[in-house]
Amino acid sequence: MNNDRLHKYLSDYWGYDTLRPAQVPVIEQVLANKSGLALMPTGGGKSLCYQLPSLLLPGLTLVISPLIALMKDQVDDLLLRNIPVGLLNSTQSDEASNEVFQRMIDGTLKILYTSPERLFAREALLFTQLQSLNISLIAVDEAHCISSWGHDFRPAYTRLIELRQALPEVPLLALTATADAMTKQDIRQQLGLEQDPVFENSFDRPEIHYTAIRRDDENEQLLKFLEERKSESGIIYCLSRKRTESVSKMLQSEGFLALSYHAGLSTDIRTERQNQFVRDDIQIVVATIAFGMGIDKNNVRFVVHMNLPKNMEGYYQETGRAGRDGLTSHALLLHGGSDFMTLSKHCEIDGNPEQSDTLLKKLRRMQDFADSFACRRQTLLQYFGETHAGNCDHCDNCQTEFDVWDATQEAQKLLSTVARLEWPYGLAHIIEILRGSKSQKVTAAQRELSTYGIGQDLPKAQWTQIGKELIQKGCLAQSPGRFPTLVLNDLSWEILKGQSKVELTKVEFKVEKTSKRATYERNDAPANSDLFNLLRAKRQELAKQQNVPAYMVLSDRSLKELCQSMPATSKQLLGVHGFGKVKVQRFGAQILEVLEQFTTSSKA
């Protein structure tokens, strides 16, 4: 892109030398006064695609965003860069709102953030006012919120087509980090973008290491994961409010600065805890899924799920809150047998069997991901329609050398049990029969089957793994629905007749297991930890002075580059990632002082 002013603004205000390749065509589309849909991963630089062009466009850039916290973070960040920006939300006083309205009328505002609810509130005053102003661009962030197929549906988003109709000459840029094919089509249709291009960047987040293991002693598993992360920032997701409280208290007793976050807390407490987290006053938030969408914190180093997420979109977005600065981060998923049944209850939508079935299919794909022995990255990207060769070497499966074993006899035992039953049953019941259960659920007739009790030599967990892997390999079919039953297919009969051999993944089933699947590597320590800690303390001090989160002052990546390059002048500071002219003018002297003092003390 050959635009001197654009590159000057990029350097001066953001401290970047170049745009990312995926940002270039989106920004070109905006500057050409054309609409489009941009699908980019979390941390991929979506916001820059409308923030940077807004400085070159003649009028106002209107940004529609779903959450007040997310808008406030972005507004604070832009104000720190001396960019004229305003915010209108439902919590503001009339005086504050009137001041923003006046700046809009005066033309002294380049970017305005608001929510779709605020846009049409108060007799649609803002909606009406905007039609009389010089609007150069409408940016719809988190555009998946418009789709009922999406995982964060917001009904007010569906009214945004009215804005498009009222301002037909104004280009609209929709942006999202999570959209499968169905959601993508819904976004285009509801925003009138069917004839406009879709800019799809890779959804891959190479900096995130993915691990998924079955829950055993979950508190012990969590503490083992956190053992080498005692100074790092992270989010832990739980299904219930009660569990967020118990996990946060357990972590506090182990010396971690952790607090819970859920809808049962008052708005004031939730706001305070979110602010504490983004300002690094606390290290860990233990939350329900209500937390995180409004977080623009780029130094989150890990995300843990204590339960199975309800779909791949939610999992991708939640894990994507880690590593937004591009540094190595970790996503740990602990899952257990009860998760699917618990979550499947929430998939039933009264009067809408089609949507209920879709939600259940999404949940089953999530379960398959957790159970799989394939490359996690490959499986995740395939869900979003992207091809990946696998062998990423940055997930638990790719870093584990799995052995295989001849499971033909065990497969025949399981398949034979399915064949002998008069009615179809689920995997759990088949295992009850195989292991000779005395449960009342096993009928007298089933206890007379020749396969009753022939699987007592293997633990329940191993039979579960065998059954699931047979399904994944297509050796056994499964009916749709909340209570899936097992059905034999052609390959099942070939195995039963001895015409096909079955090899499955060998897994150790021991309570005290410490397999490679449960290890968590780290290789991202700064080159000089003492200097890094000094710089981090100075960053925290500067952030408190500015009343903004620490990551807005300097990212972890910037701190690590400072440790490596040791700049001694303001000019040399400009060569460090994230330092533009504005940031050097604002913070350069204090940072150089820390570096000089460290150098002097090291020589003494």
Kindly state the average pLDDT of the residues 415-434. Answer: 95
196 token code pair: 């406009």
Q: How far apart are CA 562 and CA 148, in angstroms?
A: 46
Query: Are 213 and 221 contacting, i.e. CB atoms less than 8 angstroms apart?
Result: yes
Cβ 329 vs Cβ 322: under 8 Å: yes
Give dist(CA 175, CA 187) in Å, integer. Answer: 10
In this predicted structure, what is the pLDDT of residue 526?
Answer: 57
Q: Residue 368 belongs to what H/E stretch?
A: helix 353-371
pLDDT band of 400, cuts 50, 70, 90: confident
| CA-wise closest residue to 19 among 11, 367, 168 | 11
Strands 477-478 and 486-487: antiparallel
Alpha carbon distance 497, 499 (integer Å): 6
What pLDDT does residue 247 have?
Answer: 97
The 10s digit of each residue's pLDDT in 453-490 is: 999 999 998 999 999 999 988 999 988 777 889 999 99
Pairing verdict, β 503-505 and 172-176: unpaired
CA dist., res. 393 & res. 399, Å (int): 6
Q: Is 135 helix (H, G, I), strand (E, B) or coil?
A: strand
SS3 303: strand
How does the average pLDDT of the chain come out, rounded? 89
Long-range contacts of 185-189 (CB under 8 A, 24+ apart): 186/146, 186/147, 186/148, 186/149, 186/150, 187/37, 187/143, 187/144, 187/146, 187/147, 188/37
Cβ burial of 367 (10 Å; 0-12, 13-18, 19+) is middle
Contacts (Cβ under 8 Å, ≥6 apart) of 353: none
Domains and CATH numbers, the chain: 4-200 (3.40.50.300), 208-383 (3.40.50.300), 404-506 (1.10.10.10), 529-603 (1.10.150.80)
Q: What's the rounded Cα separation, in Å, for the pair 64 and 187?
A: 14
Query: Which of helix, strand or coil describes residue 330?
Result: strand
- Give yes or no for residue 601 having a pLDDT over 50: yes
Rounded to an integer, the average pLDDT of 165-173 is: 95
Q: pLDDT exceeding 90 applies to what percent of the chain?
A: 65
Q: Residue 323: left (phi > 0), alpha (psi -120 to 50), or beta?
A: left
Distance (Å, whole) CA 17 – CA 15:
7
pLDDT tens for each residue of 38-83: 999 887 899 999 999 999 999 999 999 988 878 888 999 999 999 9
Radius of gyration of the chain (CA): 27
pLDDT, mean of residues 211-237:
93
For the cut 50, the answer to whether the pLDDT of residue 212 exceeds it is yes
User: How far is the C-alpha of 117 from the C-alpha of 202, rounded, in Å?
Assistant: 31
Please report which residue ranges of 372-473 form alpha helices under DSSP H: 376-383, 408-420, 427-434, 444-447, 460-472
Predicted pLDDT at 36? 97
11-15, 97-101, 291-295, 427-431: the lowest-pLDDT one? 291-295
Strand 208-214, strand 329-335: pairing? parallel
| Other beta carbons within 10 Å of 169 | 6
Neighbours of 228 (CB within 10 A): 12
In this structure, the chain runs to a length of 604
Structure confidence at residue 292 (pLDDT): 66
Kindly report the number of other CB atoms within 10 A of residue 499's CB atom. 9
Q: Which helix (H) or strand (E) holds 147?
A: none
Long-range pairs, 507-516, Cβ under 8 A, ≥24: 507/402, 507/462, 507/465, 509/459, 509/461, 509/462, 509/465, 511/216, 513/216, 515/400, 516/396, 516/399, 516/400, 516/401
Q: How far apart, in Å, are the Cα atoms of 194 and each of 125, 153, 197?
A: 29, 20, 8
Q: Is the pLDDT of residue 517 over 70?
A: no
Mean pLDDT of the region 308-331: 92
Q: Tokens 């996690």 — which residue? A: 376
